[in-house]
C-alpha cells in the first residue's frame, strides 16, 4: 500500500475524526498530497500547508497566517502513518472479521513513537476505511475515511497561503 501511495502524483483524503484529541462531536478534515513535495491539511479550525522546505499555517478564527520553514510532522498523523509505515511501525496482526473486513494492527518499533495503529480495510479494498491511533495511555483517536481520490487534478491555488492583514502575518522564516 505504501509503495502504491508513494507512486501517485496526487492523493486527496476526506475524513471524520473522533476521539480524545477532538471536540465531542468530532471534526471533518481533508488531506491532500501532490508529488513531489506539496502537502495540505485542512480542518474547520486551521489549515496547514507544506511546499518543499516552506510551510504555512492559517488559524481561521484568528485570521492569522504563520510562515515557517517546514519541520518534521508528527509520526501519529494520518499522512505519516500512510506514507511512513515501514519507518516507525511494524505489522503485529492481520485479522479477518466476520463481515469480510480486514483489520491490520501495527505496533511502534521505534523509540520515536509509541502505541498502536489499527487500519480497517473493507472486503476486497486496498485502501483503509478507518484508521485508529491508540497511545500508551490507551487514548484513541479514530479517523473514518469519507473520501479517497487518487491521481486527482488539483487547483494550484490550494497551496497558496490566504491573504491576511499585515498585523495578522507572523513570519518565522528569516529567524
Report helix, strand or coil for 98. coil
Q: Which CATH class is domain 2-171?
A: mainly beta
**Spans of all domains in the chain:** 2-171
How many angstroms separate the CA atoms of 155 and 4, rounded? 23
Q: 141: Cβ–Cβ under 8 A, 6 or more apart, which residues?
A: 17, 18, 19, 20, 21, 22, 132, 133
Global pTM value? 0.83
pLDDT at res. 76: 41
pLDDT at res. 175: 62
Nearest C-alpha neighbor of 146 from the set 26, 9, 6: 26
pLDDT at res. 87: 64
Host H or E run for residue 157 = none
Question: What pLDDT tens digit does each residue of the chain (175 aa) get?
Answer: 667 777 889 999 999 999 988 889 899 999 998 888 888 999 999 999 988 888 899 999 999 999 998 765 544 444 555 655 656 678 889 999 999 999 999 888 877 677 888 999 999 898 899 999 888 888 899 999 999 999 999 998 999 999 999 999 999 987 6
147-to-49, 162, 172 alpha-carbon distances in Å: 19, 25, 34
How many angstroms separate the CA atoms of 1 and 82, rounded? 8
pLDDT at res. 86: 58
Look up residue 115 and give its three cell numbers. 502505541
Using the 8-state DSSP alphabet, how is residue 4 labeled? H
Using the 8-state DSSP alphabet, how is residue 74 labeled? P
Amino acid at each position: 500500500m505504501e509503495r502504491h501511495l508513494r507512486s501517485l502524483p496526487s492523493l486527496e483524503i476526506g475524513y471524520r475524526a473522533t476521539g480524545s484529541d477532538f471536540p465531542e462531536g468530532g471534526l471533518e478534515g481533508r488531506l491532500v498530497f501532490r508529488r513531489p513535495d506539496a502537502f495540505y491539511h485542512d480542518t474547520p479550525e486551521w489549515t496547514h500547508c507544506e511546499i518543499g522546505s516552506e510551510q504555512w499555517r492559517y488559524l481561521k478564527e484568528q485570521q492569522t497566517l504563520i510562515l515557517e520553514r517546514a519541520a518534521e510532522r508528527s509520526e501519529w498523523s494520518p499522512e505519516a502513518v500512510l506514507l511512513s509505515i515501514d519507518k516507525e511501525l511494524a505489522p503485529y496482526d492481520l485479522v479477518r472479521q466476520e463481515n469480510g473486513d480486514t483489520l491490520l494492527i501495527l505496533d511502534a518499533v521505534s523509540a520515536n513513537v509509541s502505541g498502536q495503529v489499527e487500519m480497517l480495510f473493507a472486503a476486497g479494498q486496498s485502501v483503509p476505511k478507518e484508521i485508529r491511533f491508540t497511545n500508551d495511555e490507551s487514548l484513541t483517536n479514530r479517523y473514518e475515511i469519507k473520501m479517497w481520490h487518487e491521481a486527482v487534478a488539483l487547483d494550484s491555488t490550494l497551496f497558496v497561503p490566504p491573504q491576511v492583514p499585515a498585523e495578522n502575518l507572523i513570519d518565522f522564516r528569516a529567524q
